[in-house]
Chains A and B, each alone.
Chain A
Amino acid sequence: MKQIQLKQVSKSFGDLQVIPPLDLDIEDGEFVVFVGPSGCGKSTLLRLIAGLEDVTSGQVVINGEDATAIPPARRGLAMVFQSYALYPHMSVRKNIAFPLRMAGLDRSEQERRVEEAAKVLNLTEYLERRPGQLSGGQRQRVAIGRAIVREPRAFLFDEPLSNLDAALRVGMRLEISELHKRLSTTMIYVTHDQVEAMTMADKIVVLQNGVIEQVGSPLELYRSPQNTFVASFIGSPRMNLLHGAEAAAHSSHTIGIRPEHIAISDNSGDWEGVVGLSEHLGSDTFFHINCPAFAEPLTVRASGELDLSYGSTVFLTPDLAHLHRFDERGLRLR
């Protein structure tokens, strides 16, 4: 069932159009991630769904009902903000209970649901504290608690992990994914981090300059990016995009090959190159190889065991089964 639909939705701030008219369907229970570089309009799109911004034209449909003119308070959506946006003058208990209080639930029911949410999120012992007395991770959990207590139609997350340190981020990523598995409520998640997008999403929406570049499952985007933007945005390290004679040999304007789809050898191969910088991650090593045939160095993934010294000559062979071809507009060639 389509739960949230955007029909020809656009947004302008004054004369500046940040989102040209676009369509998007979000299925019930799906985990959808909006991803793109900063300023691509992903947060604005989320705020249009939330109702925190008015659409300039088009329709926002929630559960089959036109919600375009419905204020955010009555859309039945819950949102977790980047800054957590907790109420500083209320205890954790009151913060989590606030949406229930607004919904007019009776005291005992509020109490029961807050305790339940606190247990799930390991916040029970912090219920009487103020947000100012909590760590970043705990604040984030309170924000999530405030979102889950009211059992919303869908959750909206606006870069919720970007204020946390790296270790905590991985932990919270798993917690949010688990939450989704357990609640199976629709979640819309905005991030600029393609790793978050790849690991959490059922469906990724890649945005650039307010335009949807591609919609698909993480592996669809990884395996068959529709254009060079998606090709280079999804995957880490990024795909090697090559132009010139080598691309023409495959009858295309640009060819793309991921670092993991290039074999490296010290005696024979298609392309000859010189080893530049290498990044050792332990399990893998990424080599930057300068090939005279290409303007930019190629990134190649090799096993962590392989040790190549700076300046030595190597040979590269791309795996043709995983070669991506693009035309002069950057669109994928079949």
Chain B
Amino acid sequence: MARAATTRQKTITSVIAWTVAIIIFFPILWILVLSFKSEGDAISTPLQVLTSAWTFESYAVVQDRSDYFKHFSNSVIIAVGSTLLGILVAVPAAWSMAFVPSKRTRGILMWMLSTKMLPAVGVLYPIYLLFIELGILDSRLGLVIVLMLINLPIIVWMLYTYFREIPVEILEAARMDGAGMRAELLYVLTPMAVPGIASTILLNVILAWNEAFWTLNLTAAKAAPLTAFIASYSSPEGLFFAKLSAASVMAIAPILVMGWFSQKQLVRGLTFGAVK
């Protein structure tokens, strides 16, 4: 009797879970389906979409019209570059906050986080003007810098959380063993924090890859990453549904694959420190 109840409960929860999962996944699935249809079929009723012929036509057109690999390499450089630069800045910052905290450390951390609550558009104008002044508008360097700054609070917070888990006595032992600050960071702290640093890097590469506001507003042609590549197919008029879908699939596929393979690391990283 008890067993039957458990089986029924399991069935119900499974159905609910699958429903929610499919609802969440549906837009991505639909984009995938549309990307393999002709423009005409893409705007027909859902039933017709599923029964109509499959084609690679949209992919061919998209690759033909805009250079996918240029956008792809821009995305890689911007996402990886901004993340690594951020790590370089954040490791010493998080070290000092975790191991030599002052009375105001907590406040500084909150203040840093609060910048994430500011609507980005609020500072678009000054940054745009600054970029013109500095001559880094539509340059990969400019985007690396701006995305690094945007994600820095998150990087510092994540590293700070990981570092807090490292016993301070081990760092003190390194100091007693004759390690200066550089050696302590390089040979003791960083190797011990590798899992934490790895998940921070992963998460921030994903965030930077998907970032659309700054990448769209601060680039034109030269430094445009995949977000701009997608956006160029979004238009209020004309038939672009299938092409937009194809472009989207091409843009999100690399990060999706990367996320898939690093899932374990990512989950471990995000829940690290949550359970004592």
Contact = CB atoms under 8 A, between A and B. Distances in A.
B178 A74 contact: yes
Nearest to A83: B169
Say whether chain B's binding surface is mostly helix, strand, loop, or mixed. helix
B172 A102 contact: no
A72 B188 contact: no
B239 interface: no
Contact of B175 (A73, A82, A86, A156): A73
Contacts of B191: 89
Contacts of B172: 52, 72, 79, 81, 85
Contact of B178 (A82, A85, A103): A103
A47 to B, nearest CB: 8
A102 B167 contact: no
A299 B98 CA distance: 50
Contacts of A72: 172, 175-176
A152 B124 CA distance: 58
A99 B175 contact: no
A230 B194 CA distance: 49
B192 interface: yes
Interface string A111-130: 00000000000000000000
Given A73-B180, A85-B167, A98 B192 contact: no
B192 A99 contact: no
Highest count of chain A CB atoms <10 Å: which of B167, B172, B175, B178: B178
A102 B188 contact: no
Interface residues of A, number: 25
B28 interface: no
Interface string B172-189: 111111111001000110
Contacts of A42: none
Given A73-B180, A102-B183, A87 B170 contact: yes
A88 B192 contact: yes
A288 interface: no
Contact of A50 (B176, B179, B194): B176
A77 interface: yes
Interface in B88-122: none
Interface in B157-174: 167, 169-170, 172-174
Contacts of A82: 169
Interface residues of B, number: 18
B168 to A, nearest CB: 9
Interface in B106-161: none
Nearest to B180: A73
Contacts of B170: 85-88
B173 A81 contact: yes
Contacts of B188: 87
Contacts of B183: 102
Interface in A10-68: 50-52
Contact of B177 (A51, A71, A98): A98
Contact of B167 (A51, A52, A83, A99): A83
Nearest to B175: A72
Nearest to A75: B176
A102 B179 CA distance: 6
B105 to A, nearest CB: 15
A242 interface: no
A73 B183 CA distance: 11
Nearest to A76: B178
Contacts of B187: 98
A224 to B, nearest CB: 36
A150 interface: yes
Nearest to A102: B178
23 contacts: A71-B175, A72-B175, A73-B175, A73-B178, A73-B179, A74-B178, A77-B176, A78-B177, A79-B173, A79-B176, A81-B172, A81-B173, A82-B169, A83-B169, A86-B173, A87-B173, A87-B174, A89-B191, A98-B174, A99-B178, A102-B177, A103-B178, A156-B176
* 6 tightest Cβ-Cβ pairs between the two chains A and B: A102-B178, A85-B173, A99-B177, A85-B169, A79-B176, A72-B175
Interface of B: 167, 169-170, 172-180, 183, 187-188, 191-192, 194
Given A52-B172, A81-B169, 17 more contacts: A72-B176, A73-B175, A73-B177, A79-B172, A81-B172, A85-B170, A85-B173, A87-B170, A87-B173, A87-B174, A87-B192, A88-B170, A89-B194, A98-B187, A99-B177, A146-B173, A150-B178
